[in-house]
């Protein structure tokens, strides 16, 4: 089988300059300022804001990212708490759903038909 060539290209018509703001406690705000391919500000597109925080889980750190609406950094910062809480709740619900799906997909072998690799026996103790 021939290997497929992977070709990655940046969309030069959709570039953003990224600035990071943090309180060094709860999270990070990313301000994405649209730019032209020469690096100059693209005034035809809006500035975007993304909030980031993380949860500690038994499996490690779980990053949470969420969109913040706002015309400027101050407005985005004011929305951080509510937006973070909603994103965390949504993530927790998705995790619960994944657990439900994983639990419902567990297959228990039918021991009466030799389900464990043909060992047979139907659960009865057999002497050699």
Does the residue 2 lie in any domain? no
Does the residue 64 lie in any domain? yes
Does the pLDDT of residue 114 top 70, yes or no? no
pTM: 0.70
Does the residue 29 lie in any domain? yes
Does the pLDDT of residue 123 top 80, yes or no? no
Q: Give residue 99's domain range.
A: 15-104
- The predicted-structure confidence for 84-103, as pLDDT tens digits, reads as follows 999 999 999 998 998 888 88
Does the residue 49 lie in any domain? yes
What pLDDT does 99 receive? 87
Q: What residues have CB less than 8 Å from 123, skipping those under 6 apart?
A: 111, 112
The rounded mean pLDDT for the chain is 86
The single residue listed with the structure tokens 């657990």 is 99
For residue 59, name the pLDDT band (cuts at 50, 70, 90): confident
Does the residue 32 lie in any domain? yes
Total structural domains within the chain: 1
């Amino acid at each position: 089988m021939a290997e497929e060539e992977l070709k990655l290209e940046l969309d030069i018509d959709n570039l953003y300059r990224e600035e990071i703001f943090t309180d060094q406690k709860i999270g990070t705000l990313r301000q994405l300022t649209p730019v032209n391919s020469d690096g100059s500000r693209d005034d035809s597109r809006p500035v975007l804001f993304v909030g980031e925080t993380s949860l500690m889980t038994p499996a490690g750190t779980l990053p949470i990212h969420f969109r913040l609406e706002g015309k400027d950094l101050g407005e985005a910062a004011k929305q951080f708490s509510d937006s973070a809480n909603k994103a965390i709740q949504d993530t927790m619900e998705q995790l619960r759903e994944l657990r439900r799906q994983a639990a419902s997909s567990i297959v228990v072998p039918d021991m009466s038909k030799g389900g464990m690799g043909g060992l047979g026996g139907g659960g009865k103790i057999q002497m050699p």
